[in-house]
């Protein structure tokens, strides 16, 4: 399937130019491509450096194939006068321009949001950076792990005393999601006003928003959530336990009705819901260790099947601690297939299920695959 396949999406007819690399901006532009937009990905001669992160998918990078489906690859040098002129011609006809180059790089090359929008007020620009375009951090380079650490995310992740990285590029992904959302909002506003707008997203702002609850605990409660491993820092019981046959099962009690049923039907202590040290969530968190010992003692004497039956009967939310192999074979995992030069690639399907709509995802482009066609299309 060619990258320019008409998938009948809501953004059919929208032209997106993406001067992008790595994760955050490619996430946003790939999701616009999934919705039918035409996305021209501008790459340097050596390509988006994410192409070389690894070679695990038929010789291609896992990150790259995930985040670049449905795009056209145009190789050019934004420092070359002729290529600059070509890119300006393309952007002059575009609806959206996205960039996540290093601090100031787009402006130095003549592709800053302000100048582009002066030339084309219809244009929606989206700049993705580490820390935004003002303040003492504005010129700092930023990557996902650095933002996880700077935002405090790593301080509440992992086991006690062991700060940890979240196992996926959560700051990049969050920024990409916010960027896509802001672009869609800007397109909607433009339909009503005829005017584009300049959008800026930073990885730090994106993660700071996700860190709101821990921040409020610190600012108003005087104490940030602790590192608690496979536990919830402010809800109990909400953690993992082992069965007699070696399974690891997590339970999650979200309200007092669920607690009353669990206490009575699983633990055999209906009085725990009305009296004693477990009668409300705050007390259960305070007495977490004692409560978890009680639960662990019961669960460790039951088989997985026996315990699951009891949890289902009581309406208790539960899940299993899978590894990635478990995800690969999970009964709930939906997959889609995407074409690439190296073969078909199966990856998770879009989380959004739209009744009556069926989209076809475009192919992953080879480096410079569409350069000749695009240069001809936008020649003087």
Tens of pLDDT, residue by residue over 310-359, are 999 999 999 999 999 999 999 999 999 999 988 999 999 988 888 877 76
Q: Are 336 and 350 in contact (CB under 8 A)?
A: yes
Rounded CA gap, 217 and 224, in Å? 6
Rounded CA gap, 170 and 211, in Å? 12
Write down the pLDDT at residue 208: 98
Write down the pLDDT at residue 5: 44
Q: Does domain 238-320 have CATH number 3.80.30.20?
A: no
Write down the pLDDT at residue 8: 56
* Series of mean pLDDT values for 10-residue runs along the chain (380 residues): 54 96 97 96 95 94 96 95 96 96 90 92 96 91 94 93 92 98 97 95 97 96 90 93 95 96 96 96 95 96 96 95 92 93 92 79 94 93
Rounded CA gap, 118 and 248, in Å? 58
Q: Count Cα atoms within 13 angstroms, Cβ side, for 202.
A: 22
Domain positions in the chain: 15-211+354-377, 238-320
* SS3 at position 55: coil
Output the six-digit token pair for 210: 């996700």
Write down the pLDDT at residue 277: 96
Output the six-digit token pair for 109: 């090359």
* SS3 at position 284: helix
- The class (CATH top level) of 15-211+354-377 is alpha beta
Write down the pLDDT at residue 329: 94
């Amino acid at each position: 399937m060619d990258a320019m396949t008409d998938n009948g999406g809501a953004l059919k007819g929208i032209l997106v130019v993406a001067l992008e690399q790595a994760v955050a901006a490619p996430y946003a532009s790939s999701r616009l491509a999934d919705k039918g937009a035409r996305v021209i990905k501008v790459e340097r001669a050596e390509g988006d450096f994410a192409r070389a992160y690894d070679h695990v998918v038929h010789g291609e990078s896992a990150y790259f194939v995930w985040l670049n489906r449905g795009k056209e690859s145009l190789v050019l040098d934004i420092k070359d006068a002729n290529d600059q002129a070509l890119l300006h011609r393309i952007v002059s006809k575009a609806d959206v321009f996205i960039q996540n180059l290093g601090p100031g790089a787009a402006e130095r090359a003549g592709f800053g949001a302000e100048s582009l929008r002066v030339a084309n007020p219809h244009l929606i620009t989206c700049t993705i950076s580490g820390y935004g375009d003002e303040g003492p951090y504005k010129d700092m380079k930023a990557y996902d792990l650095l933002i996880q650490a700077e935002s405090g995310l790593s301080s509440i992740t992992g086991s006690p005393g062991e700060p940890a990285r979240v196992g996926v590029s959560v700051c990049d992904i969050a920024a990409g999601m916010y960027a896509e959302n802001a672009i869609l909002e800007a397109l909607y506003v433009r339909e009503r006003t005829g005017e584009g707008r300049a959008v800026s997203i930073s990885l730090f702002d994106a993660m700071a928003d996700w860190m709101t609850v821990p921040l409020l605990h610190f600012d108003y409660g005087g104490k940030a959530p602790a590192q608690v491993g496979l536990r919830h820092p402010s809800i109990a019981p909400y953690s993992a336990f082992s069965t007699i046959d070696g399974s690891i099962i997590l339970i999650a009690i979200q309200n007092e009705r669920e607690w009353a049923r669990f206490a009575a039907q699983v633990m055999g202590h209906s009085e725990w819901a009305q009296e004693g040290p477990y009668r409300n969530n705050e007390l259960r968190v305070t007495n977490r260790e004692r409560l978890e010992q009680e639960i662990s003692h019961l669960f460790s004497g039951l088989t997985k099947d026996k315990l699951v039956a009891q949890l289902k009967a009581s309406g208790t939310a539960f899940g299993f601690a899978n590894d990635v192999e478990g995800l690969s074979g999970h009964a709930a995992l939906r997959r889609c297939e995407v074409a690439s030069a190296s073969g078909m690639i199966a990856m998770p399907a879009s989380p959004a299920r739209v009744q009556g709509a069926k989209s076809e995802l475009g192919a992953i482009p080879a480096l410079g695959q569409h350069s000749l066609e695009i240069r001809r299309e936008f020649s003087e």
